[in-house]
Chain A
């Protein structure tokens, strides 16, 4: 006869209500884990999307993500000719705010050369950019759909394809355009400002600059050796893919990552305290029944089983409800919530340990109950 199960069944409504409360807490913990993962993954996605081996940027700069970087567009040809480089592409990055359908969209514009590295990796709907101008591929989170036309600068771009999970570290969805269009967008001034500049006789700086050149290296070539060669050009700097990723995680998203990590730690602590309190209270409410059990001859293991099984059931149901809840609502979060199986498993492990430790308090109280308490009403 499983007393824990019978007690839960008897007080089912209360048990379910407690589990629901706990599951909300679990859902918040899982959401924080997912946001933490999403933050890092989004940041790394942008770096990993071009599948580059080498990033060539402005000398003395940690570009193009940690710092701005501006190098001549012709750099691509020079890098492409280096021994060991199989392909190279120029790339630009900029954040813009554009009005669309009565709303303001914040977009992360990536300009790339068609046929070279830097473009969208997998287009999940529609097609890639097929024309030299005024076509775009957008991340689905932007809310844009195929066929939408969005004004950027003085031009209108038609969305021809959609990608997924392409965002910068700030959570802004990506919009891919051609390099030429991106350069125009960067250098193009509003008409009055252009007229003022022209009246002063200034021609403005050349529009043919890019943020970085990304290169893919032959399988048998040494990336570090290619990087050393690039660094010999005094106006350029080079980072391997691993260095770029490390830089991004260490500097760009580090503070946000630590902030969320700390908050996650606090949440887990609060959850542990709440679980311990619930289990302790559940046990204290049953002291008279526990005294009766002792009096009629129930061994300690029956009483310990009653408490431990109930606390594990509480934790397990709370965890399962919480997981279901977060899986149902995670796509409605403005930023990506990336839940890995290891997160859910780790939380399950933590909850199990917390439940067992928390039952220790209840067990201590239960084992100290005098069976005589049952006598005398």
Chain B
């Protein structure tokens, strides 16, 4: 469990999200409250259509909520007419994404996949590459820095994707089924790595997962059902 004195990074209050109107209206989320502090690793669980991805998208500044308030790293989001470009900048600076199938750009090698995010944030090409190689070394895939994504194993590709997510030292890391493409041994390694990084970087991690084998790696598990956050439980002592 995270230190109660740690900073509140994600603060959602009464979040609702509706799609459509009238008879075709779908309530994807209904009055969700969620607080996640720095250093915490939490999981969103629930069946398909329960609203996990919608919640992840709202935290990731990809879609805006119909109702409710979102605070990320102490900053109110979607208030005072946030523009699309402001949200993009927020994603670039404060949020890192890890995907189920790594989603590395196939035309860039491992180090450039990481360096791209740094360059987008304004780093020079040389500086970005140096930092990218450091990150890859840290994640123990430095020897594969020149390999194209198609030539990386599943575990290697996911480590490169984690390096990319961490490149700009984000405060929030959002992971969508981060271990779905990995065997149980590698899934455990990746989750331990994410926990370590969250602690070191003072960031929080929110992961959507169905992988029961890694539930014990989370600080808290949140269950979503029909758009409601039904319960929450501490997993790790």
Contact = CB atoms under 8 A, between A and B. Distances in A.
Interface of A: 1, 3, 6-7, 9-11, 288-289, 292-299, 302, 370-372, 374-377
Given A9-B107, A293-B105, A374-B103, A298 B112 contact: no
A299 B85 contact: yes
A376 B97 CA distance: 12
Contacts, number: 79
Contacts of B117: 296-297
Contacts of A370: 62
A377 B99 contact: yes
B105 A289 contact: yes
Given A3-B108, A292-B105, A377-B180, 10 more contacts: A1-B119, A9-B107, A292-B99, A297-B121, A372-B63, A375-B53, A375-B57, A375-B97, A375-B99, A377-B176
A275 B185 CA distance: 49
B164 A376 contact: no
A297 B97 CA distance: 10
B131 to A, nearest CB: 14
Nearest to A6: B107
The A contact surface, by secondary structure, is: helix
Interface in B87-129: 88-89, 91-93, 97, 99-101, 103, 105-108, 112, 115-117, 119-121, 125
B177 interface: yes
Given A1-B112, A302-B120, A295 B101 contact: no
Given A7-B107, A9-B107, A295 B116 contact: no
Contacts of B103: 288, 292, 374
Interface string B50-89: 0001001100101100000000000000000000010011
A337 to B, nearest CB: 39
A21 to B, nearest CB: 21
7 contacts: A1-B116, A292-B99, A296-B116, A298-B88, A302-B120, A374-B97, A375-B176
